[in-house]
Amino acid sequence: MTATNDPPGREKVAIKLPPQLRQKIKVRSAQLGLVMQDAVAEAIEAWMADGAEHPPADTSGAANFTTHLPRGMNTAFRKVAKSRKVALNQALAQALTEWLRDRPASHKQREASGPVRYVVCNQKGGVGKTAVSAGIAEGLAERGARVLLVDFDPQCHLTAQLGHKPLGIDDPSLAKRMLGEEKKVELRSLVVTVESDQLFGDRLHLLPGSNYAFLLDAKLATAPGLRIREAALERELLALEEDYDYILVDCPPSLGYTMDNALYYGRTRDGEETDSSGIVIIVQAEDSSADAYELLMNQISSLSGDMNLPLALLGIVVNLYDSRRGFIATSSLQGWRDLGTPPVIGVIPDLKEQREAVRLKQPLLEYAPESEQASCMRELTRRLVG
């Protein structure tokens, strides 16, 4: 079956496909940096070109699957399947199974300098740092990388949104270890897995937040025995780095020692490729975000100058964008783009799927994998990793 109003040179095709096979193709496509419809077309083309007998594929539980194929491919595929006396859904399952077999999963290997580190920040609250942090991490894990999300905000929104309980005020936590108040419990024992049926495997982990982190700024200022106060976060996370390809820090809306620690952790380390690790700034298309941005940039400039830190500004993400809000929104977006450096690397629309995922305490890319927001998160991930 085909439909009109399709992308140029393509036609919409509906075939039955098992959901688990569809999910595998989606994940492997993301890992390889391919658009899913192109992966399906590659698989069909290879199946048609290979005249050998193909082993049967499991099609149990097959459900409707739609994709856009190059014009003419659907007709050719049906003819070849008919000539081989193979049902169309069985032919597609064979093609995709063999495509997966020939392209085993892989992920980015850690550099000698450690995992890539993204510091997601803005000192203004409510811009959606947590949603973007989670979206980037999910996109990376979907591509096959091992990812740790660090909830560094004492409000613990990230922890709650991903279905976990924040650490209590009396519990061991990252904040307490940074202050030297907890030495018995290892940080690794606090890490939890972000559960997923198929999408992330055991690759996406979370270091839960703690309300105790509300005390970090005041206590870091007076804590005895800290060699470099700005390095307290790094000293703790170093113990976890060998387990991950990427570590993302979801920052609090703060301009104090807590933020200094996050920025220090995101610096370019010796031997690390420039613009690999660094700072991702989340804003909205409105005036108050611009004011907050200036304050953050002043802090980054001050810390970079005082400590001679190479801090890479990886880009700006304009979150919760809705052009229907009129001139304020459209002109603000253009203003962010006109900055040039750092560049705008993503625009995330203000749609219902993210709010629904938060309400249900599910990752966005699993709850609404086909949504526009999920697609934007994947594109943002591709922009970051190159």
93, 130: one domain = no
Q: Are 346 and 383 in contact (CB under 8 A)?
A: yes
293 occurs within a structural domain: yes
According to DSSP, the residues that pair with 116 across neighbouring strands are 246
Structure confidence at residue 315 as a pLDDT band (50, 70, 90): very high
Which amino acid is residue 274, in one-letter code? T
Which amino acid is residue 124, in one-letter code? K
38 occurs within a structural domain: yes
Comparing C-alpha atoms, which of 130, 61, 59, 62 is closest to residue 97? 59
Residue predicted with more confidence, 227 or 217: 217
91, 68: one domain = yes
4 occurs within a structural domain: no
- Total count of domains within the chain: 2
Alpha-carbon distance values, 333 to 138, 284, 324 (Å) = 25, 8, 13
49 occurs within a structural domain: yes
Which amino acid is residue 263, in one-letter code? L
Q: Are 93 and 21 in contact (CB under 8 A)?
A: yes
196, 292: one domain = yes
Q: Where is the domain boundary, 101, 132, 160?
A: 101
Q: Where is the domain boundary, 43, 76, 101?
A: 101
Residue predicted with more confidence, 379 or 36: 379
91, 130: one domain = no
111 occurs within a structural domain: no
Q: Where is the domain boundary, 70, 101, 132?
A: 101
| Dist CA 331 CA 321 (whole Å) | 12
What are phi and psi for residue 144, nearest 5 degrees?
Answer: 105, 0
pLDDT at 375: 94
358: pLDDT strictly greater than 70:
yes
317: pLDDT strictly greater than 90:
yes
Structure confidence at residue 42 as a pLDDT band (50, 70, 90): very high
Comparing C-alpha atoms, which of 19, 12, 280 is closest to residue 132? 280
Residues 224-233 have a mean pLDDT of: 79
257, 350: one domain = yes
Structure confidence at residue 227 as a pLDDT band (50, 70, 90): low
332, two tokens: 């603000």
139, 234: one domain = yes
371 occurs within a structural domain: yes
94, 186: one domain = no
Residues 99-123 have a mean pLDDT of: 73
Residues 328-344 have a mean pLDDT of: 91
Q: Are 51 and 99 in contact (CB under 8 A)?
A: no
With b meaning 16 or more CB within 10 Å and e meaning fewer, what string describes 202-215? ebbbbbbbbbbbbb
Residues 175-187 have a mean pLDDT of: 92
Q: Checking phi first, is residue 322 left (phi over 0); if not, alpha (psi -120 to 50) or beta?
A: beta
pLDDT at 124: 77
Dihedral over Cα of 156, 158, 160, 165: its sign: negative
pTM: 0.74
245, 153: one domain = yes
Comparing C-alpha atoms, which of 240, 220, 222 is closest to residue 230? 220
Residues 180-185 have a mean pLDDT of: 89
Structure confidence at residue 229 as a pLDDT band (50, 70, 90): confident
Q: How high is the mean pLDDT of the chain?
A: 88
52: pLDDT strictly greater than 90:
no
Q: What is the pLDDT of residues 258-311, one digit of tens each?
A: 999 999 999 999 888 888 999 999 998 888 878 888 889 999 999 888 888 999
Least confident of 171-175, 201-205, 314-318: 201-205
276, two tokens: 């690999």
Domain that holds residue 370: 116-385
110 occurs within a structural domain: no
214, 67: one domain = no
Structure confidence at residue 26 as a pLDDT band (50, 70, 90): confident
Peptide bond into 19 cis (omega under 30): no
End-to-end alpha carbon distance in the chain? 36
| CATH number for the domain harbouring residue 306 | 3.40.50.300
4: pLDDT strictly greater than 50:
no
| Angle between the N-to-C axes of helices 88-101 and 73-83, in degrees from 0 to 180, rounded to the nearest 10 | 100
Residues 319-341 have a mean pLDDT of: 90
Residues 217-229 have a mean pLDDT of: 79
97, 124: one domain = no
230, 323: one domain = yes
39, 172: one domain = no
212 occurs within a structural domain: yes
| CATH number for the domain harbouring residue 38 | 1.10.1220
Q: Are 201 and 243 in contact (CB under 8 A)?
A: no
CA atoms within 13 A on the CB side of 217: 13
| Dist CA 28 CA 35 (whole Å) | 10
228: pLDDT strictly greater than 80:
no
Structure confidence at residue 108 as a pLDDT band (50, 70, 90): very low
DSSP state of 111: B
DSSP state of 114: B
What are phi and psi for residue 346, nearest 5 degrees?
Answer: -170, 145
pLDDT at 107: 43
316: pLDDT strictly greater than 50:
yes
Identity of the highest mean pLDDT range in 19-23, 132-136, 142-146, 227-231: 132-136
